[in-house]
Amino acid sequence: MNSTPQDKKSSVKINFQYEDTNIYITEKLLSKWVKKSINTSLLYSSYICNKIRLNIRMVNEKEIKELNRNFRKKNNSTNVITFEYGIENGYLMGDIIICLPVVEKEAIQQKKNFLDHAAHITIHGVLHALGFDHSNNEDAVKMEALEIEILNKFNIRNPYL
């Protein structure tokens, strides 16, 4: 029997870690963003494993800058870094590192609601963990459209306007 998008269900295991940051988002809210990202992306991609284990780690600027320097060869802090490890024991594995102080600064600079921007950054990181990318224009257009669709489900406006 062929599976239709409605038949696809995901099994998601999320581990949350908060390291030395004064800004917090509840695990319940983060889980909503993560699960909606995964379930929506399953509608568009047949290659994504529907069993997923993610670690989501909230860090300070010092830690994200160090990770960015060590793994991306960029000597600055950033809002999110995603590590996608492929499939192990039937699960797609990934780490999503989010720097909420950077997200907060960006929200202020861009005149965005903090939680709306945090949702966007979280969704962006999850999509990277699922294999989506924006390394070329065609992939960027697809990934941004998917981000906008997911954000719309939370009544969050298009962040690219």
Residue ranges for the binding site for Zn(2+)? 124, 128, 134
Q: Measured between alpha carbons, how far is 28 from 6 in angstroms, rounded to an integer?
A: 24
Six-digit token string for 22: 């004064």
Q: How many beta carbons lie within 10 A of that of residue 132, not counting itself?
A: 23
Q: Measured between alpha carbons, how far is 74 from 154 in angstroms, rounded to an integer?
A: 32
Q: Does residue 99 sit in helix, strand or coil?
A: strand
> How does 75-111 read in b/e, with b if 16+ C-beta sit within 10 Å?
eebbbbbbebeeeeeebbbbbbbbbbbbbbebbeeee
Which amino acid is present at 68? N
Can you give the C-alpha Rg of the chain in angstroms? Answer: 15
Residues contributing to the annotated binding site: 124, 128, 134
